[in-house]
Amino acid sequence: MCAQVAAIRFIERLSEQVANEFAAQQQYIANAVYFDGHTLPRLAGFFYAQAVEERNHAMMMVRYLLDSAAPVVIPGVEAPETEFADIVAPVALSLEQERRVSDQIAALAAVARDENDYLSEQFVQWFLKEQIEEVSTMSSLLSVVERSSETPMFIEDYLAREGAGDRGADPTAPPVAGGTL
């Protein structure tokens, strides 16, 4: 571990973001379980995988805090939404969540720049790029789900065919505390 000093304001905001990422993980697990319960295995699989990604995002941030010799407190998170009116609702909620996270990451980048904390600014760049992809993937999925909400097997076929969300390993990703799941 190489000790480095990140700006205090950045560390505070990043610690809050760890909670947001774990909350995103919980929401995606809740979505996956909802779809699993409705025998829609591809939609369930998509959200189970997204949940792991969010967990890894949180643990990348934890790794950065550890490497910065900053205090690390693993937070509790708010309970996720578990009841949905229809199969569109969890996906619409997810797009909203991804857009919110994009704003949070942009705010983090702004703090790093404001503090002349160049290492933290560089660290956060990967997350900015990641959010563009995640918002785009979720937005496409929402279009498909809205279009085929009466015939969910079309959505399952789409996911089987396109492998939406499956982007493989990214060698440019920051290291994950404890390793990638």
Interface with ligand FEO includes 62 (CB under 6 A)?
no
- The tokens describing 94, both together, are 């997810």
CA 31 to chain centre: 13
d(CA 158, CA 84): 22
Is 21 an interacting residue with respect to ligand FEO (CB under 6 A)? yes
**Which CB, 102 or 148, lies closer to ligand FEO?**
102
Q: Would you say 27 or 68 has its CB closer to ligand FEO?
A: 27
| Residue whose CB is less far from ligand FEO, 57 or 63 | 57
Applying CB under 6 A, does 59 fall inside the site for ligand FEO? no
- Cβ(168)–Cβ(53) under 8 Å? no
User: Does residue 24 interact with ligand FEO by CB under 6 A?
Assistant: yes
Does position 117 bind ligand FEO by CB under 6 A? no
Q: Does 64 bind ligand FEO (CB under 6 A)?
A: no
Q: Which is nearer to ligand FEO, 37 or 168 (CB)?
A: 168
Q: How many residues bind ligand FEO (CB under 6 A)?
A: 7
Please select the residue that binds ligand FEO; options are 13, 42, 55, 57, rule is CB under 6 A.
57
CA distances from 150 to 138, 145, 155 (A): 19, 9, 10
Q: Check: CB of residue 67 under 8 Å from CB of residue 1.
A: yes
**Site for ligand FEO, residues 70 to 99, rule: CB under 6 A:** 98
Residue number with the smallest Cβ distance to ligand FEO:
57
Contact (Cβ atoms closer than 8 angstroms) between residue 82 and residue 30:
yes
132 Cα distance to chain centroid = 11
Separation between Cα atoms, residue 137 and residue 92, nearest integer Å: 12
Chain residues binding ligand FEO by CB under 6 A are 21, 24, 54, 57, 98, 101, 134
